[in-house]
Amino acid sequence: MAVTIYTTPTCQYCKMAKQYFQENDIDYTEYDVSENEEKRSEMIEKSGQMGVPVIDINGQLIVGFDKSSVAEALEQAEQTGENETASEQAKEGDAC
């Protein structure tokens, strides 16, 4: 599962999102868009927004921090990962 969060140092919602990920043992990649112009442009291109946080969970974008939306996206990403693993196992089994 790939989780990316675009943040700024003064954003309270960014801090809340990162705390949520840490408390739930979710690995994530953080980009500080106040310093990283390339990632700021990437964030705007992906989301059409300049506000932070922008959270990307396996390609599903969430603008702002809404705990229930994040939890739902994480659950969907986890299920997708399980389905992919099951498919890969089935393919391996078929190849035997």
Number of domains in the chain: 1
CB 65 within 8 A of CB 14: yes
- What pTM, to 2 d.p., does this model score? 0.83
Question: What is the CATH classification number for the domain harbouring 76?
Answer: 3.40.30.10
Q: What is the pLDDT of residues 13-48, one digit of tens each?
A: 999 999 999 999 999 999 999 999 999 999 999 999
Alpha-carbon separation of residue 3 from 77, 91, 93, 95, 96 (angstroms): 10, 27, 30, 32, 34
Q: How far apart are CA 43 and CA 46, in angstroms?
A: 5
Domain housing 33: 3-95
Centre a 10 Å sphere on the Cβ of residue 37 and count the other Cβ atoms it contains: 9
Predicted confidence at residue 62, as pLDDT, reads 96
